[in-house]
Chains A and B, each alone.
Chain A
Amino acid sequence: MTDLTDLGVAALRDGFRKGDFSAREVADAFNAAVVAGRALNAFLVETPEHAAAAAEEADRGRASGELRPLSGVPLGIKDLFCTAGYQTTAASHALEGFVPTYESTVTAKLFGAGAGMLGKLNLDQFAMGSSNETSAFGNVISPWRRKDGGNAPLAPGGSSGGSSASVAARMAPGATGTDTGGSIRQPAAFTGISGIKPTYGRCSRWGVVAFASSLDQAGPMARDVRDCAILLETMSGFDPKDATSLDLPVPNWEASLSGSLRGKRVGIPREYRIDGMPAEIEALWQRGVDFVRDAGAEVVEVSLPHTRHALPAYYIIAPAEASSNLARYDGVRYGIRELPEGAGLQDMYAATRAAGFGAEVKRRILIGTYVLSAGFYDAYYTKAQKVRALIVRDFERAWENCDLLLTPTAPSAAFPLGEKSADPIAMYLNDVFTVPSSLAGLPAMSVPGGLDAQGLPLGLQIIGRPLDEQGVLDAGLAIEERAGFSARAGKWW
């Protein structure tokens, strides 16, 4: 029998339906892979009983002729999603011991569709980071290694680093991620998997620990484009509990998938050709251009003039929203409390927050507090929101000349853990290609495009018009069919 952990979401779903294997066998295989992969530190909480219970329900359902969209499929859940009865920490000491009494809308939809949960996945603390090094519970180690024999542990990307590592290491066939400035796409690129951030408002934010509410979007991470389409269909949909949820029907993305780009125009934004871009990234991008052309698309150059201002605008807006959102961690309602001897209420707040938040989270809260403070609000926050409006306008103008945009996902392959952790701005620059589409709320996806000279995966990003997830997925499929990406991390763990 084939190793069940070699199968993706579609293959598991379809094989289970055909009776090739039971859901319980699948859950057992992945539960064992989770245990065997502990060296990667991808999971904060293992929940084999949840996966097994969902599998047994699926097996009973199959016997009685009741099949649900994700029956037989176990998933990893980023520990930013509240899960009823299972600790949810956002990888922060601030929420240590927090066991939600309710289920996030996205996980409720996945579990309602028959999926089981393998465990809660590690991430950058409160999703703030690009390497998973800000987690209070240790780094996630990428399953990939450079082929030069130096076994330096590599970053799995961030913030969805547990999600990317678990899928790349075959510990989960798919996982949930969240993306605020690139947190699905950059880790997907670093680990040779696919991931899509849908249009802002497609997936409910209810029950997802908030970082920057005008940017946060959930999305799937999986081994290929079809698997992403399947998971996204279940995760999406209107939710009255989220004021920014879009009240629109969810298209049948999987059924409509097509790798033909005939009649489509794919734009190449010239401002993404940044100074000092490695030749390998240039070459990858050119390969992507050849792929989409081969799939029938017309390739056109477009201009997004405010691209280079996107990152600084993001690092005003996201910390500002974070400073407001994270005000709730006060030691009163949930999470940890620090109460120094004789302390009053204000001292308790300050001591609790000092003990609960990690260095990067504090840094962003302080930046956010500063840019929102009296006398600086207009100079920083209002200015950044004006620049954001210009970035949105850039994209609107580009859509007059093309249907999709093609760019690299990240400016480099995965870097060694520790390489950038001392320099916040160097870390922030990792998101240079992903942040603009986040600021504009656009659907965007990363798919593997090839390997660099060290044998590490590189990702290509497709950005689409608002609500055109289908166009993004189709272009992703066109690239996937042509890239023939079959490399996987050699098992050393």
Chain B
Amino acid sequence: MSVDATTVRKIAQLARIAVTDGEVQAMVPELNNILGWIEQLGEVDTDGVDPLAAVIPNHLRLRDDVVTDGDRRDEILKNAPQAEHGFFAVPKVIE
């Protein structure tokens, strides 16, 4: 499988990364080079093999359903590029 400029633009759009035409032109051969290299996994017989779920067997813990943290609004907003009235602020979404 290989990617063309249209696919690279589509992936970049899915990843929310703005790309220029020049960047797309450069990325097509780069990504194809990497994808061509990882394609060698096709040689491996994986019939009947379950995909790995966890490297080290570990159980998922349950804890009591109680509040353990919170009341940190100002701390949480401290690094926001724009915070207003105790909220994260973003450009207008709904007209």
Contact = CB atoms under 8 A, between A and B. Distances in A.
A353 B11 CA distance: 14
Contacts of A349: 16
Contact of A363 (B31, B43, B49, B90): B31
Q: For this complex, into which size category does the number of interface residues on chain A fall?
A: 35 or more
B41 A350 contact: no
Contacts of A383: 41-42, 44, 46
B18 A354 contact: yes
A473 B72 CA distance: 42
Contacts of A323: 15
Majority SS of interface residues in chain B? Answer: loop
Interface in A96-130: 97-102
Nearest to A349: B16
Contacts of B72: 101
A337 B93 CA distance: 16
A200 interface: yes
A331 B55 CA distance: 33
A387 B41 contact: yes
A346 B56 contact: no
A386 B14 CA distance: 26
Interface string A443-481: 000000000000000000000001000000000000000
Q: For this complex, into which size category does the number of interface residues on chain B fall?
A: 35 or more
Interface in B1-56: 1, 3, 7-8, 11-19, 27, 30-31, 33-35, 37-44, 46, 49-52, 54-56
Contacts of A346: 16
A110 B55 CA distance: 26
A312 interface: yes
B91 interface: yes
Interface of A: 97-102, 199-201, 214, 240, 243-244, 246-247, 306, 309, 312-313, 315-316, 323, 327, 330-337, 339, 343-351, 353-354, 357, 362-363, 365-367, 369-370, 373, 376, 379-380, 382-390, 392, 424-425, 439-441, 466
Q: Which 8 A-B pairs have the closest CB atoms?
A: A441-B55, A385-B51, A337-B81, A386-B46, A334-B79, A354-B18, A350-B18, A312-B38
